[in-house]
Structure 1
């Protein structure tokens, strides 16, 4: 009899626990970079503009199947927004003019100021904590920061003594490159890892990227190139001037995975890990 009472009590306690546990919030995100932040806290959005762009441009954490495509970043389908019954909409400062419309559907949280901050990495840490608190996952946010600190520390140890200057770039065409200077997330992480950003040294200051002519890059001839997402040398190799530049040689270039320059903490982790793999081989080639 006592055992039956005990079992029944345990069952009631379990049911009570389930009843009292609040369901996960239904969140719509109007930014691929902020969708990364949400996913890194263990919660998938119910709706996101053009999910395929997230998959190709952000990559990780992977976006689950079933996330509803709600239209364009700045012209979402409002009927879908209503139908998804969100508890929260996460927007960016660029959505300020339509925020009132979102508020009619669900409480709206504006994040993403880190993307234009002077120190984006430090700013995104605060935003991750703010999002974690808002969706009831403060412990997950704190753990995410701890994991990021550990990845950066490990990469810094691996890269100790690597002093060759670097250019983080994407090729636009056979005459132009997009390079990331001071104020970009890439530059801030390079600094944290004790690496030299040749673009910053050359005075290129931006909160995102500069599109520059090849001749401007020629002033950084002692640097090695890190291509983001794809090898940019194919288009540039058609230009004879480029082929004469020291860093146009294969041993002075490396291709990193696709990493968003405005991504959140998982992007930071991926960039740090990619540098730890690529830079030692570039440093060896730099001495050839």
Structure 2
């Protein structure tokens, strides 16, 4: 789990929520797309601001991994990405080219590094700070995505993808990506129903250890990956308090005792190698007594499935959920 994103969300939504989060064989190749047609483009971003480009952007810098994944999946390799090493650790659905430049951290990207690349466009998420947008817009057009919206994260993902696609002239590719994603949802829902698993509960989490304390971040009803599970016909068993943007909540091992169903599968991500569930809780009596642990319904996701990504990362989550309930 990226500690940069954790710090950002802690500042934004208080101690309740902590923020957003290796290598799987299901790595997708970038989309092969025809060159975008030229001519002026006007995009209205999440701020309600019209951003005008002389031509569809081809040299793009992405300051968040979800947007970087979307660019690659649409057929435009970004020239710069914030924290390329972290991206390689957490995102495998759309691989960056070796020559993509690192422009600093996601929490504090380098304006100088971005401007030096002479991009046509910078794509960033809402919540990164008006000051950064102001600095960048002195030199380059900027579009701001929503990044997350717990009231409708699947709809938000579609809107962000379509907005980026419009700015880079790849709307046909966006339509294809979303059609493939919808087909994967429909196929997965059918398989789960045929396996008699419709309505069964799931929980998704990640966590970290500081000293002897294990903190657990739960993905509530509005989290992107939770909404994927719900669309597959499953039921998110976590009903604790979550924030309104990411749909995330914080608990500890005692807080998991409410997950009582013997049918529940518990999924988690530990792409950075810090597996607090297998290691930090190995000898914890409460943890070992939980039904999903005793039943063997504990699933560490393959490394590199980004929890806050686009349609390609979403399809990786679909595969994992379908395998657990209908495999």
Q: Tell me the TM-score normalized by structure 1.
A: 0.82
Query: Per-residue displacement from partner, 1:165-213 (whole Å, max 9, x unpaired)?
Result: 11112243465422111210122111111001110xx344342422212
C-alpha change, 1:23 and 1:268, in structure 2 (3 Å) is: closer
Q: 1:210 aligns with which of 249, 266, 274?
A: 249
The answer as to whether partners of 2:287 and 2:293 remain within 8 angstroms in 1 is: yes
Name the larger-Rg structure: 1
C-alpha change, 1:117 and 1:215, in structure 2 (3 Å) is: closer
- The residue aligned with 1:278 is 324
> Structure 2 regions of 5+ residues with no counterpart?
1-34, 39-54
Query: Per-residue displacement from partner, 1:28-78 (whole Å, max 9, x unpaired)?
Result: 111111101111101111011110111111222111110011122243333
Question: Aligned pair 1:227/2:268, yes or no?
Answer: yes
Greater helix fraction, Structure 1 or Structure 2: 1
TM-superposed deviation, 1:117:
4.0
Question: Aligned pair 1:169/2:202, yes or no?
Answer: no
- The residue aligned with 1:30 is 63
- The residue aligned with 1:13 is none
Q: 1:132 aligns with which of 161, 165, 169?
A: 165
- The residue aligned with 2:287 is 242
Question: Aligned pair 1:261/2:300, yes or no?
Answer: no
Q: Give distance in 2, aligned partners of 1:92 and 1:158.
A: 35
- The residue aligned with 1:6 is none
Q: Give distance in 1, aligned partners of 2:56 and 2:292.
A: 54
Q: Give distance in 1, aligned partners of 2:241 and 2:150.
A: 16
Query: Per-residue displacement from partner, 1:96-121 (whole Å, max 9, x unpaired)?
Result: 2221211122111111x141341111
TM-superposed deviation, 1:24:
6.5
Partner SS, residue 116 of structure 1: coil
- The residue aligned with 2:131 is 97
Alpha-carbon RMSD:
2.3
TM-superposed deviation, 1:23:
8.9
Query: Which has the bigger relative contact order, CA under 8 A and spacing at least 6?
Result: 2
Greater than 4 Å deviation, 4+ residue runs: 20-24
> Structure 1 regions of 5+ residues with no counterpart?
1-17, 282-288
Partner SS, residue 89 of structure 1: strand
C-alpha change, 1:127 and 1:251, in structure 2 (3 Å) is: same
C-alpha change, 1:117 and 1:181, in structure 2 (3 Å) is: closer
